[in-house]
Structure 1
Amino acid sequence: MKYRKVLIIDDAQIDRYMAEKMMKKYEFSNEIITVESAMDALELLESFKTNPEALPDLIFLDINMPQMNGFDFLDEYEKLPELIRKKCIIIMLSSSLHPEDRQRALQNPHVFTFLSKPINAEKLRELCEMTSTGSNNLM
């Protein structure tokens, strides 16, 4: 499955670069947008409210970011118009080994699944399978 548009939200330039490179290599998406902060992402999503076709299919959201972390983003995301919230599938990303982060992410109704960094070909393949079947049990 190839996605029309993907948004990567991560403060770490190397992680954004590697995720984008992997997605391009495996033709995961037609368009990849990267932003370095949750605030930038919220502004971008808000700008699409009059043009929902421009919204990303998938949002890859890092948990650990300065100023506004991934969980803070989700709190603000809840305030966005329903049209936006229904269109986007959120995948939480983290290099954290804390099981509490994974559990907290998966308890959020807007989070489809949780992925450990770095993103690789196998994770992208499994994610495609999961989104096509509706299952969110990525190992």
Structure 2
Amino acid sequence: MSNTPLVWIIDDDDISKYVMKRNLRQLSVTNVIKFPDSVQPLKILSNNFESTNELPDIILLDLNMPILNGFQFIEEFKVANEKIKKDIQIYMLTSSLSSEDVDRAKSFPEISEYFIKPITLRNLSRIVDNVLQE
């Protein structure tokens, strides 16, 4: 991996995407792709199993989205991940305070961590640092 990870922000909320991208820029992370739902990212994952440069190092995944929610994305990701030749860290983000959502997120080993929105600059910094140290 280069000195800056490829980050995918999968979120239907434009304000959340804007804030996360701005905060990532403060951390010198400029390789960021934003998606309004999880359909296109799943297609990219499925079509680029071996092309690790096309795949993200970090996915910031919203839980509540149209078409496929974050948990449905994770279920689809699990299937694709068996063929992917890259370690992708997924961080789930949500405005939900539901303990059921937190517990369900913790049941997926594919989810590195679960954050209540808005994610702080400090937490983003920790995520980026963790990925860069691997």
Question: Normalized against structure 1, the TM-score is what?
Answer: 0.83
For each residue in 1:77-133, what CA deviation from the matched residue of structure 2 results, as whole angstroms up to 9, or x when unmatched? Answer: 111142427521110010111111111111101111111111221112333455578
* Structure 1 SS opposite 2:31: strand
- Deviation larger for 40-49 or 64-73: 40-49
**Are residue 54 (structure 1) and residue 54 (structure 2) matched?**
yes
Residues 123 and 79 of structure 1: CA distance in aligned 2, closer, same or farther (over 3 Å)? same
* Structure 1 SS opposite 2:20: helix
For each residue in 1:41-65, what CA deviation from the matched residue of structure 2 results, as whole angstroms up to 9, or x when unmatched? Answer: 1012223224123211100110000
Matches within 5 A, 1:78-93: 78-84=78-84, 86-93=86-93
Equivalent AA in structure 1 for residue 73 of structure 2: F
Identity %: 32
Aligned length: 132
What's 1:5 paired with?
6
Residues 30 and 48 of structure 1: CA distance in aligned 2, closer, same or farther (over 3 Å)? farther
Instruction: Determine the C-alpha separation between the residues in 1 that align with 2:27 and 2:81.
Output: 32
5+ long unaligned stretches in structure 1: 135-139
Instruction: Determine the C-alpha separation between the residues in 2 that align with 1:99 and 1:127.
Output: 23
1:6–1:58: 8 Å Cα contact kept in structure 2?
yes
What's 2:97 paired with?
97
Matches within 5 A, 1:105-124: 105-124=105-124
Instruction: Determine the C-alpha separation between the residues in 1 that align with 2:118 and 2:85.
Output: 26
- Deviation larger for 78-87 or 16-25: 78-87
Cα RMSD of the aligned pairs, angstroms, is 2.1
Instruction: Determine the C-alpha separation between the residues in 2 that align with 1:107 and 1:100.
Output: 11
Question: Normalized against structure 2, the TM-score is what?
Answer: 0.86
